[in-house]
Structure 1
Amino acid sequence: MSATTSLRATLIGVVLSATALIPLQGTASAAPNGHAGTTAVPAAATAPVAGIEDATAHALAGSLADPSWRRQVRNAVLAEDSVDLRALTGASATSAGRRLAAGVAAADRDAAAAKGLGAGAGSLLRVRLADPSMEARLAGGTAPWVAAAPSDDDGAAITAYDSSGTAHALSADAVPDRPVLVVGVDGAKAVTEGMKVVDKALKARGLAVPAPAAEVAPTASASATGIDTTLINSVRVSDVKEPWIKGDAEIFTLVTGFGTDGKPRVDTVEMPYLNDEDTTYYPNQVLVNWSNYKYDMADAVMMEDDGDTNYQALAKAIVTVLLTITDQGAYIPLADALLDAIPASWWTDDPDYVDSWYTLARTTSGTRNGAAANGWINVSPYHVPAL
């Protein structure tokens, strides 16, 4: 997902917080031979996720020279949409799979650290078939190449590796004849864990502790007590050209306004259902819990985890900027301040900003187009009665 090119270009020029983390872009090479019978995946904890994924893809490709291990990987990706790579290598009875296991576990830890998640995130690296049209050729025995999930939606070429370690440049615009396996981070898990990191940082500085956004039934009876909310009836993000190798989007929204204590507040809302562009979803999801806010207005900024998102850096940057804003006794839009706080890496190559909605009121109802003209939401007031 991305905003329009013109808006993205404008936002790149914003003076960003000094706390921002700017990861290096590029690829890393995986050494084909490790120590003590292992296949190493060389990636430092400070490396960007894209480099870790590329190194892991290179190492996995080399390991597929073993026919037994290649069959195991093939069967796994044909059986599931996305396969836990650490679990797959850890449980393998093949020599190639066992040699790769330690390197994959280390790469998993590096990926978690690079995303600011820590060890509690568990396994993050996954492997999947790039496109359903490749299933027949893979099942028929064609040896797959392996590529890393791209963080740059606008890239013209994709690098894939064969079992000898040779790199092949594939067009981002055309699905190749050969099956391609994709190594990437479990975006849904990363967003869930990342929201915990952001929430913890906001709580520590008194900038809100949101309860998890919940689906509620629009037919529930109203009561004289309870909470007023704004419900997302439907949502759609515009069609944007993406490479064939790109997987599902991992979307979340940051709702911001002034809390009841007069301090700026940010509530995080996960949107795991919002996978595809140019598709309308009907989530019946609470977007704003008005009991959290002093004024009857709030802003919403929709973002996507595009791979190299570092949630610790994001949380630190948001906190740093919002703590400089004080309540002036009237509603002040905070979406621009939040956008200014976003780390610089989010505006470099991978457009993680999706869209934003200003001045959503407690009484707002109907369809609202986003400020970036990249999507719309249909909302309505909804009273959640007390139990």
Structure 2
Amino acid sequence: MRSTEQDIARALSASLRDPRWRAQVRAAALGTEDVDLQSLAGRTAAPQGRNLLAAVSAADRRIADLKGLPASTGSLLRVRLGAPSMRSHLNTKVTPWIAVAATDDDATTITAYDSQGHAHAVDTARVPDRPLYILDIDVTKAHRAGLQVLQKAFVDKGLTSAPKAANSAAAASAGWWATKVTAIEVNDDEEPWFKGSAEMFSLVTGFGQDGAARVDSVDMPYLDYDGTVYYPNQILVNWSNYKYNLADVVMMEDDDGTNYRALAQAITTALLTVTDQGTYIPLVNAVLSAIPDGWFTDDPDYVESWYTLAQNSSGRLNGASGNGWMTVEPYFVEQF
């Protein structure tokens, strides 16, 4: 996957020698945070842009396969300005370089290509003054498609069992209790400047009504940046799905190299070995130990975890690793 992105980065950098195509890319990059490269190349009349279309389309299909996503996911390669501060330097006289976001979040340099095909090492410790475009994967689109892959795998393996039929008292209540997140913050989202905003999700685990381990994926698309408090009022746990009054939460940040098929297989394999012993067993460690060290070099980053969340939990809950906190409250979801 890395080599595929580098090939497209070199081709894109060379194509920017065409002033007409360069102006169209610049206008798109200034107008939106992320530019769909396949769509932009498909719309342009500039020859250099049109010449990119076949290569970009083939690269999108290969990347989807490497990430364990269905072909229906569509275009994945995107181009964006490296940082907002570069906007003032992006003018008609400048031909930006093209860089591929490093697979290692701790990388000290990233490689950028100029329009003549020369490679340059760019320091990641600070945002450069020279404008450059970052070529990477549309993690938002891949993330949403990947969560569907995960959830389908959990359903197929019986890890999202349906709750038992409600008794008369429960039916009369016409609803179910949930835990709602009212505020949340992480100190480090594991994303350096060249990666852009984070894509966060949580895995909520516990024992279903049938006594088997259960896991639900919860998308947290608002958690873009660390050091920022968000107020989502988001439902995190539906307690009618669980046998015990306890559940665990593992928060992760999605990276370019995530293979969702492999992630789903690893997690389901691990949780299927955990059996109900008549008392609650935390499942955080089982989930974390299931994730391989490197399908690619840029895997989902562990961000935070919360143990033994209860239906009546309320107030501020600090994460186990000290990297984040959230405030929660019980919330009754009424049925119409």
TM-score by length of 2: 0.93
CA contact (8 A) 1:234 1:280 kept: yes
2:5 counterpart of 1:53: yes
2: CA distance, partners of 1:206 / 1:349: 29
Deviation at residue 138 of structure 1 after TM alignment: 1.3
Does the residue aligned with 1:104 lie in a helix, a strand or coil? helix
1: CA distance, partners of 2:6 / 2:307: 38
In structure 2, which of residues 110, 125, 148 is the aligned counterpart of residue 173 of structure 1?
Answer: 125
Structure having greater relative contact order (Cα 8 Å, sep ≥ 6): 1
In structure 1, which of residues 182, 186, 190 is the aligned counterpart of residue 138 of structure 2?
Answer: 186
In structure 2, the CA distance between the partners of 1:376 and 1:117, relative to structure 1 (3 Å rule), is same
In structure 1, which of residues 79, 89, 98 is the aligned counterpart of residue 31 of structure 2?
Answer: 79
2: CA distance, partners of 1:175 / 1:305: 23
Q: Which residue of 2 aligns with 1:290?
A: 239
Q: Which residue of 1 aligns with 2:313?
A: 364
Shift >6 Å, 4+ stretches: none
1: CA distance, partners of 2:299 / 2:102: 9
Deviation at residue 59 of structure 1 after TM alignment: 1.6
**1:326 aligned partner, one-letter code:** T
TM-score by length of 1: 0.81
**2:255 aligned partner, one-letter code:** D
CA contact (8 A) 1:53 1:149 kept: no
In structure 2, which of residues 40, 51, 72 is the aligned counterpart of residue 88 of structure 1?
Answer: 40
2:336 counterpart of 1:384: no
2: CA distance, partners of 1:88 / 1:128: 12
2: CA distance, partners of 1:209 / 1:179: 51
Does the residue aligned with 1:344 lie in a helix, a strand or coil? coil
In structure 2, the CA distance between the partners of 1:352 and 1:346, relative to structure 1 (3 Å rule), is farther
Deviation at residue 239 of structure 1 after TM alignment: 4.0
Q: Which residue of 2 aligns with 1:301?
A: 250
Cα deviations by residue, 1:68-111 (Å, 9 ceiling, x for unpaired): 21111111111111111110011110111111000000111111
Map residues 269-348 of structure 1 onto 2, 5 A cutoff.
269-345=218-294
Map residues 135-214 of structure 1 onto 2, 5 A cutoff.
135-208=87-160
CA contact (8 A) 1:153 1:351 kept: no
Does the residue aligned with 1:128 lie in a helix, a strand or coil? strand
1: CA distance, partners of 2:295 / 2:330: 32
Unaligned runs of 5+ in 2: 163-171
Deviation at residue 248 of structure 1 after TM alignment: 0.4
2: CA distance, partners of 1:376 / 1:139: 42
Does the residue aligned with 1:245 lie in a helix, a strand or coil? helix
1: CA distance, partners of 2:321 / 2:83: 30
Q: Which residue of 1 aligns with 2:60?
A: 108
Deviation at residue 53 of structure 1 after TM alignment: 2.4
CA contact (8 A) 1:81 1:128 kept: yes
Deviation at residue 55 of structure 1 after TM alignment: 2.4
Cα deviations by residue, 1:126-177 (Å, 9 ceiling, x for unpaired): 1111112211221242110001123321110011000111110010012222
2:16 counterpart of 1:64: yes
- Identity fraction in percent: 55
Q: Which moved more, 1:67-76 or 1:160-169?
A: 67-76
Q: May I ask how many residue pairs the two structures share in their alignment?
A: 327
1: CA distance, partners of 2:77 / 2:191: 22
Unaligned runs of 5+ in 1: 1-47, 211-222
Q: Which residue of 2 aligns with 1:42?
A: none
2:197 counterpart of 1:245: no
2: CA distance, partners of 1:242 / 1:362: 32
CA contact (8 A) 2:259 2:295 kept: no
2: CA distance, partners of 1:209 / 1:187: 29
In structure 2, the CA distance between the partners of 1:351 and 1:258, relative to structure 1 (3 Å rule), is closer
Cα deviations by residue, 1:307-356 (Å, 9 ceiling, x for unpaired): 10100000001111111111111111011001111122279566611011
CA contact (8 A) 2:190 2:303 kept: no
CA contact (8 A) 2:257 2:297 kept: no
